[in-house]
Structure 1
Amino acid sequence: MARILPKRKAKGVDFCDVDDNYYIIRSDLGCFMYSANFHRGYDLNIYSLHPSCQGGDHYLAFDNNTFYIIKGNTYRRVSDMSKEFDSVVYNLHPNCQGSRGVYHKTSNINKDSNAVEYQLHPNCKDALYYWGTKSYSYFLKYLQYADTFSIHPDVLDFLPGGLGQTHGPTFGKWDLIKMISNDSEIPVTWEKKITWKVSFTKSKLSSIEHNWKVNMSATFDLDALIAEIVKLQFSLSAEHGGISINTENENWEEATEVAETVILTLQPHTKMYMWQYKLSLGKEDVLFCREIVFDENPNPPSIIPLLPANK
């Protein structure tokens, strides 16, 4: 099964929470998700993430009006991650910097006041993500222990690599659109209008956002968000349910059919095959690429007509 992209590979992606208010930050998407319960998928709301709050190394929450974004050797305190209210930047104490494989507890990350350091229990090591409240510590991991909870599929869809868990891995393939043949003894010029589908079939992924409420700016609507999530899924490695390709230059508008007049001259007793490249997520074809290939070979082309994903 495809695996969720871990925090060490996902810059600006993190969890934080306050009591019964849980947050997932996706800097790469420019937004964050709020939920009242990750296990049951309650009250899933998505908000814009202010540019100054994006790209953090870690995200912490003290209460619903106090958030901390750690970047390098400094941290930013804001009262609202979507609007950067009351923003103040502080230096991060050296003892609170870096990663040492321990659990460091302090009442002030600027002064490292009342600091205590603990070794992690073996069952708590090597988690994908860590976060906590004043009363509890949480981590996301595949192994099952006592007092564990699953993540609701509607929440998994928002995580990098989550679509690979809920929908299945992605893959690309060439689809035969048309086969043209000349069985005569003379060359034949063939002219005909051919119709094929292009762009993004969002309707096949309507289940992704059925439980989401989007509270974002008008310039970043739900359709655009879903397209970005799928686009990023394609860019991931096979380990995380992707195919390691860059689809930035494809048309991510809702899929439509296009028609074009094709003129070909076929030699006697020859055939011509028209192929289109498409990308699938699990069992669904979701992106019909612009690339069309005409070839006399009855086998699908061996090339991948898209650039590799940026590493």
Structure 2
Amino acid sequence: MHFESISAMIVPKSKSKADFCGVDQYYYMTHDNMNTDGSAVVYSLHPNCQGGSHYCSAFGYFYIIFQDRGVYRRTRNMNKYEAGEEFTLHPECRNGLYYFGVRNYYYFVNPEDQWGGIKYTRCTNFNKNEGVDTYSFHPSIYGFLPGGLAIAKGPSYGEWVCIKTIDNDSQTPLQWKNQVSKKVGYEKEKVSSMEHNWKVTATVSAETGGLGALITKAQFSLSTEYGGSSTNTEKENWNEVTEVSETMTLTVEPKQKVYIFVYQMGLGKEPVLHCRDMRILDKPSPPTDNPLPHA
């Protein structure tokens, strides 16, 4: 049984592996082009810059957000803590899910509010909450936010679907041999709309099944709280969906039926990934387990 309504949320950075800044606990990286590693330089973080909840850069400064303490630090250089200062976070700037910056502004992704939708705030001063504007994310951006694909398409689900019923209404056992056709692979067109406003390199498409496939895998791996299924689908077939046939030989007892089920995963109400798993049962009720590994 899959979900009928959207109950997902954006995954906060504290519960996600995603970030908009190349910083870990003790080091940070600067980069001119993230498509190559030729210009990457790694620096150690000054002790005053370590342990931040979020990091971003704007106005020629680095900003380190210490969300639990309700403060942020500003510095010209996170390796030397040059011109370092600490400020109190304005209450309206304290609860961002992610923080990021550009030359003359910094931004944060807003928690879900009573009006729904996914919004972000732009401002020029985290301490005084100045220059504030709040915007809605364009739907084409949703999928790039952890958990956002479930908001755009609906939460993920997994279910067993009956694709064949073999009925023996005779008084003798039935020796049944035939080909059973099933779908295997990824229904790219159901998710590819998110890529329409983006330029995706041919390498990504060829090696991974496309950007949409990468994002869908990530969504399936999230917990149900964030619209996922806690399921690892890495070993499934993420090539474009095809129909395959398999020859099967079965014995169906007199006055009995046999049911053939396959497993599929989807978003909202639409199947997206047709898995390899198949079950043969003597009852019409589908299996209740998830045959794929836990994420």
TM-score, normalization: structure 2?
Answer: 0.80
> What is aligned with 2:31?
78
Deviation string, structure 1 residues 235-284 (Cα, Å, up to 9, x no partner): 11111111111111211111111112221111111111111111111121
The answer (yes or no) to whether the contact 2:160–2:286 under 8 Å persists in 1 is yes
The answer (yes or no) to whether the contact 1:201–1:287 under 8 Å persists in 2 is yes
Do residues 247 (structure 1) and 233 (structure 2) align? Answer: yes
> What is aligned with 1:6?
12
Paired with 2:193 and 2:151, the residues of 1 have a C-alpha distance of: 14
SS in 1 for 2:23: strand
Paired with 2:133 and 2:180, the residues of 1 have a C-alpha distance of: 58
Do residues 148 (structure 1) and 153 (structure 2) align? Answer: no
- Structure 2, unmatched stretches of 5+, are 1-6, 53-65, 114-118, 122-131
Deviation string, structure 1 residues 273-296 (Cα, Å, up to 9, x no partner): 111111111121111111111101
Change (3 A) 1:268 1:87: closer
* More strand as a share of residues: 1
The answer (yes or no) to whether the contact 1:276–1:290 under 8 Å persists in 2 is yes
> What is aligned with 2:107?
138
Give the C-alpha shift of residue 149 in structure 1.
Answer: 0.5
Do residues 206 (structure 1) and 192 (structure 2) align? Answer: yes
Paired with 2:41 and 2:190, the residues of 1 have a C-alpha distance of: 44
Deviation string, structure 1 residues 212-239 (Cα, Å, up to 9, x no partner): 1124646756733221211111111111
> What is aligned with 1:23?
none
Do residues 93 (structure 1) and 54 (structure 2) align? Answer: no
Q: Give the counterpart letter for 1:199 in structure 2.
A: G
The answer (yes or no) to whether the contact 1:96–1:109 under 8 Å persists in 2 is yes
Question: Percent identity of the aligned residues?
Answer: 46
- Please identify, of 107-116 and 268-277, the stretch whose mean Cα deviation from structure 2 is larger: 107-116
Match of 1:289 among 275, 288, 292: 275
Paired with 1:88 and 1:255, the residues of 2 have a C-alpha distance of: 41
> What is aligned with 1:113?
82
1:222-261 counterparts in 2 under 5 A? Answer: 223-261=209-247
The answer (yes or no) to whether the contact 1:231–1:247 under 8 Å persists in 2 is yes
Give the C-alpha shift of residue 152 in structure 1.
Answer: 1.0
Change (3 A) 1:271 1:166: same
> What is aligned with 2:62?
none
> What is aligned with 2:60?
none
SS in 2 for 1:179: strand
Paired with 1:136 and 1:270, the residues of 2 have a C-alpha distance of: 69
Deviation string, structure 1 residues 112-151 (Cα, Å, up to 9, x no partner): 1222211112222221101224532211013478721011
TM-score, normalization: structure 1?
Answer: 0.76
Paired with 1:190 and 1:201, the residues of 2 have a C-alpha distance of: 31
Give the C-alpha shift of residue 198 in structure 1.
Answer: 1.2
Question: RMSD in angstroms over aligned alpha carbons?
Answer: 2.0
SS in 2 for 1:307: coil
Paired with 1:158 and 1:89, the residues of 2 have a C-alpha distance of: 26
> What is aligned with 1:303?
289
The answer (yes or no) to whether the contact 1:214–1:222 under 8 Å persists in 2 is no
Give the C-alpha shift of residue 206 in structure 1.
Answer: 2.6
SS in 2 for 1:164: helix
Deviation string, structure 1 residues 60-87 (Cα, Å, up to 9, x no partner): xxxxxxxxx3232222223222223443
